[in-house]
Structure 1
Amino acid sequence: MVIPETFKAIRAEENSSGNIRPLLKEVSLDSLPAHEVLIRVEYSSLNYKDALSATGNRGVTRNYPHTPGIDACGTVVYSADQSFKKGDLVLVCGYDLGMNTPGGFGQYIQVPAAWVMPLPEGLGMRESMMLGTAGFTAALALYKMEMNGQRPGNGPVLVTGAGGGLGSLAINILSRTGYEVIAATGKTSAHEYFKSIGAAQVIDREQVNDHSGKLLLRQRWAGVIDTVGGNILSTAIRACQAHGNVAVCGNAASFELSVNVYPFILNGVNLLGIDSATCPMELRKQVWKKLADEWRPEALDQISLGISLEALPKHIHLLLEGKIRGRVYINLKD
């Protein structure tokens, strides 16, 4: 494999108006940080955090210009760490990739060896990025819920933000593993889509947006995978069955949470924080192994859209406008 002096990347740069926008650029290989493992990126994926980074959110990325992309899958070109060798197929998701370290929206990344894991057996590179951080987060949520006693026989599991990548994959993984799924979404016109990927019931998100002020609500689900935060999360907690698990995975609606203690001290509801970025490597490998095997979503092609690097800036803006359903993965090979 010939290592080029430059490579294609989507760079978030400030324009003459002071706005930061994603642009397709040629980037010098020498600009990559001096970490142990150089990887030729074959596929990446588009996440909400990437869209924020690409448009100048300094809560995600401090300094610009910058290459976003919190997910990357590809081939090792060089490794100063004996854990990896040239030609290994590897996966990097989370840590600081794409936040303040140049990420998977470039054809090459150079990262610490501690961030790199072998591509799970039985999972192709394209499939791994159909899953990406969204699929890993959904699976990590279910893993922690089941560690805490969640079982299909306990009752249905609510998924909020069901139309997003994380929500769609959560529905399909839960359905695959025998759970009855209630999908809460603002995209109720896509009712058939949610049914086709495994939702038993589709409800409007306003049904999970209670403003009554009640401290507890009628119990409606045995567990929750929440991707939106705010009052929807508060409602989901107050309507959760006794000893159920509520996994907190995102803040698409709000980073704030206002809830009283009664769901926890009277109903024994468990609030589980899901941090996919800094998940320990051994746990990370266990969850990815499940994703490659018994938890492998059956509707990946239906949930995912493949695009080129050139098309990525357009899809970044579509994601921020709420106009993308499911997952977007990027082919960087060409």
Structure 2
Amino acid sequence: MTISALVVRKDGDTVSQAIENIDESQLPEGDVTVDIEYSTINYKDGLCLTGQGGLVRNYPHVPGIDFAGTVVTSQHPRFKTGDKVVLTGWRVGEVRWGGYATRTRISGDWLVPLPADLTTRQSMAIGTAGLTAMLAIDALERHGLTPADGNILVTGASGGVGSVAVALLHALGYQVAAVTGRPENSDYLRDLGAATIVDRAELAEVTKRPLESENWAGCVDAVGGAMLARTLGQMKYGASVAAVGLAGGASLPATVIPFLLRGVNLLGIDSVMQPIPAREAAWQRLAKHLPRDLLEKTTREVPLAEVAALGPQILRGALTGRTVVAVQG
């Protein structure tokens, strides 16, 4: 059988992308075969599409770090033909062929059953970004965060993780302060539930003061770098920051003072190797609490043929919200 896939090739320093027909025998090994219906575009996908970041080890390569679809065949005890499934993480789309193909083979140990009240398209409107946002909120709440504690900061709020985090926090009853460097996105963020819009410039500059006013009861940080360092010094006593990304850089020009004098917690959030029980619990909570109308506001749909052109855009921070890829369309 022949399938369609977006294949990235590298010749010397030249990286190219094209839709190709490949034989099913070229698919990776696995005990579950899935017809992919939807995938998404994430920051890592942008790196893989453009050959940056060293994520792809071998070429030719099929990117796409998440997907949703229908089981075609299965030798795995948890899945049978016709089951709807979701895949995020496990380095799929990086070191292993990913979701930008009409069919794939995968280990059933990495799949999560699609919650009954989500469609495959909705699950990819959520995708890796939404799962990461949910895991971050779960971690903050395990460390004591409640809606009564005060304003919750979301950095990189216009991006995929940030957009879902704003909508989720609002749906769960929190007061959200959304950080963005694009004033034109203010109405979009307010529509998702942000009570306050914070100009990125207010947090982007490193300060010599290790502690500032206690402004935030919690934070979902998708930026890292100087903004994360600045945010740590503005957290309330005993508050936590869930670090989910590094759009602003991997360095952390901070001091230990917020941890020692205010008991601030810095929580690292990993969605790639997260155990299946935690994934399933997060997906069930997403299905229960994330309003479908807000989810739709964060989402646009593109065909597989348009994905290659969007890779550089997501790396520049030029995409707002979530982009769903209609793989079969």
TM over 0.5: yes
Q: Which residue of 2 aligns with 1:217?
A: 212
Q: State TM-score, norm by structure 2.
A: 0.97
After superposition, the C-alpha distances for 1:227-267 in whole angstroms (9 at most, x for unaligned) are 01100000111111111110000011101112111111110
Q: Quick one: distance in 2 between partners of 1:327 and 1:57? A: 21
Q: Which residue of 1 aligns with 2:124?
A: 129
Is 1:257 aligned with 2:270? no
Is 1:53 aligned with 2:48? yes
Q: Quick one: distance in 2 between partners of 1:164 and 1:30? A: 37
Q: Quick one: distance in 2 between partners of 1:212 and 1:41? A: 47
Q: Quick one: distance in 1 between partners of 2:219 and 2:161? A: 13
3-state SS of paired residue (1:222): strand
Q: Which residue of 1 aligns with 2:86?
A: 91
Alignment of 1:157-168 (within 5 A): 157-168=152-163
Preserved contact between residue 172 and residue 298 of structure 1 (Cα < 8 Å): no
Q: Quick one: distance in 2 between partners of 1:66 and 1:188? A: 37
3-state SS of paired residue (2:236): strand
Preserved contact between residue 173 and residue 297 of structure 1 (Cα < 8 Å): no
Is 1:107 aligned with 2:102? yes
Preserved contact between residue 290 and residue 296 of structure 1 (Cα < 8 Å): no
Q: Quick one: distance in 2 between partners of 1:308 and 1:278? A: 28
* Cα 1:196–1:277 shift into 2, 3 Å: same
Is 1:277 aligned with 2:272? yes
Shift of 1:58: 4.8
Which stretch of the first structure deviates more once superposed, 288-297 or 307-316?
Answer: 288-297
Equivalent residue letter for 1:180: Q
Q: Which residue of 2 aligns with 1:13?
A: 9
Q: Quick one: distance in 1 between partners of 2:148 and 2:63? A: 41
Give RMSD over aligned pairs. 1.3
Is 1:138 aligned with 2:133? yes
3-state SS of paired residue (2:305): coil
* Cα 1:116–1:86 shift into 2, 3 Å: same
Which stretch of the first structure deviates more once superposed, 91-100 or 206-215?
Answer: 206-215
Which stretch of the first structure deviates more once superposed, 293-302 or 172-181?
Answer: 293-302
Alignment of 1:141-156 (within 5 A): 141-156=136-151
Q: Which residue of 1 aligns with 2:29?
A: 34
Equivalent residue letter for 1:71: D
Q: State TM-score, norm by structure 1.
A: 0.96
3-state SS of paired residue (1:169): helix
Alignment of 1:224-303 (within 5 A): 224-296=219-291, 298-303=293-298
* Cα 1:21–1:236 shift into 2, 3 Å: farther
Shift of 1:209: 2.1
Preserved contact between residue 176 and residue 297 of structure 1 (Cα < 8 Å): no
Q: Quick one: distance in 2 between partners of 1:234 and 1:88? A: 44
3-state SS of paired residue (1:293): helix
Q: Quick one: distance in 1 between partners of 2:275 and 2:207? A: 40
Which stretch of the first structure deviates more once superposed, 238-247 or 28-37?
Answer: 28-37
Gaps of 5+ in 1: none
Shift of 1:296: 4.4
Q: Quick one: distance in 1 between partners of 2:311 and 2:33? A: 26
Preserved contact between residue 168 and residue 289 of structure 2 (Cα < 8 Å): no
Equivalent residue letter for 2:183: T
3-state SS of paired residue (1:317): helix
Aligned pairs, number: 329
Shift of 1:189: 2.1
* Cα 1:303–1:315 shift into 2, 3 Å: same
Shift of 1:18: 2.6
Preserved contact between residue 32 and residue 108 of structure 2 (Cα < 8 Å): yes
Equivalent residue letter for 2:251: E
Preserved contact between residue 230 and residue 258 of structure 1 (Cα < 8 Å): yes
Shift of 1:109: 1.5
Q: Quick one: distance in 2 between partners of 1:222 and 1:244? A: 5
After superposition, the C-alpha distances for 1:17-48 in whole angstroms (9 at most, x for unaligned) are 73213221112211111211110001111100
After superposition, the C-alpha distances for 1:151-209 in whole angstroms (9 at most, x for unaligned) are 11111111111111111111010111011111111111221111111111111111112
Identity %: 36
Q: Quick one: distance in 2 between partners of 1:320 and 1:69? A: 15
Q: Quick one: distance in 1 between partners of 2:313 and 2:260? A: 42
